[in-house]
Amino acid sequence: MRVLLAEYTRFHDPALAPEGEAMGRVLAESFQRCGHEVVLPEEGNFAAELERLAPSSDAALVIAPDHLMADFTQILEQHTRNLGCGSMVAAVCANKRLTGKILSRNGIDTPVEVTVGKKVVKPVHGCGSIGVRITEDASGEGEMGQELLEGEHLSVSLIGPHVIGEACLYYDPGPPLVLALNRQDVRIEKGRFHYQGGETPADHHRAGEILEVAKKTVKVLGCQGYVGVDMVCGDRITVVDVNPRITTSLIGIAAVMEEEIADLLIHGSHGKLPPQVHLEGRVRFTKEGEVTWL
């Protein structure tokens, strides 16, 4: 297959480029090991590059900041098989306020939105930990305030299956495939959150509950392809963010996973996923792509 891997930040967002390039490299190497031809966008207008390359590709995947995912994904959907989340769901997940309301209505714990006192302020449309801070100040334009949660920062990486065609009307493709529970390295300096990477797979005494919450989150939102569910786990298991795209945790997961992420994404796009994956060992990974075995 000819596969377009479209990573946005390499040419268009210097602050996030090291993280984006690391994710793109892991994906490209996996697709190449599986015998596929990998096509990459060139420098220039990103949407125009997608329009140029997608029609001649058998499948495609875009990696970009959450608020840009929907528009770029829609281009892929018009021309080829999209291996990632659908554009409509990507648009919903990009809005943290809307996502929280949907999950809360479906019995999933999310942070309570607050306007006064000490709180976490974050962009309504944001990516990673950029702009996330602890403050007593009022939220600015395009921001929201949430309760300050006590607990451990974790994430769950999953793949939601696709079902294409008339089968969508009556066929449930089954539960999402859990790849790994990850421990996040989130540091708070001068009140600001900084994501550095993490460890995978992570042990946790409430792992079963955490995974069930993550799977329910993916089902409720209708996420397809790779998705990362960020949580704070203390007395409560609280979903704080849903990333409908490849996340940095893949850097570590790919190092310990027996299966190839390329195969899983392709099979998932046909609604055919294995019941589980096999992980061997444990690693620490950085957002720049460094992996250390533990």
What pLDDT does residue 131 have?
86
Helix (H) or strand (E) holding 156: strand 152-160
Q: How far is CA 95 from CA 20, 69, 87, 269, in A?
A: 21, 12, 13, 24
CA pair distance 83, 265, nearest whole angstrom = 6
pLDDT on residue 172? 61
Which amino acid, residue 258?
Answer: E
At 224 the pLDDT is: 93
Least confident of 108-122, 144-158, 171-185: 171-185
- Domain presence at residue 243: yes
User: Is residue 136 included in any domain, yes or no?
Assistant: no
Res 162: pLDDT = 84
Q: Name the nearest CA neighbour of 291 among 241, 260, 257, 242.
A: 257
Q: Decide if 249 contacts 241 (C-beta within 8 A).
A: no
| Domain count of the fold of the chain | 1
Residue 141 lies in a domain: no
pLDDT over 60 (residue 208):
yes
In the predicted structure, residue 166 carries a pLDDT above the cut 60 = no
> Is the model's pLDDT at 158 over the cut of 50?
yes
pLDDT in tens, 245-267: 999 999 999 999 999 999 999 99
288 falls within a domain: yes
118 within domain boundaries: no
pLDDT in tens, 57-114: 999 999 999 999 999 999 999 999 999 999 999 999 999 999 999 999 999 999 999 9
Domain range holding 197?
A: 2-112+146-293
Residue 271's pLDDT band, with cuts at 50, 70 and 90, is confident
Using the structure block, give the residue that is written with the tokens 């281009």.
Answer: 75
Residue 80 belongs to some domain of the structure: yes
Under the banding of pLDDT at 50, 70 and 90, the label for residue 164 is: low
CATH of the domain at 22: 3.30.470.20
- For the entire predicted model, the pTM comes to 0.94
Output the furthest CA–CA distance in the chain (Å, rounded): 55
pLDDT score recorded for residue 167: 47
**Looking at residue 178, what is its pLDDT?**
98
Q: Say if 47 falls within a structural domain.
A: yes
* 121 is a domain residue: no
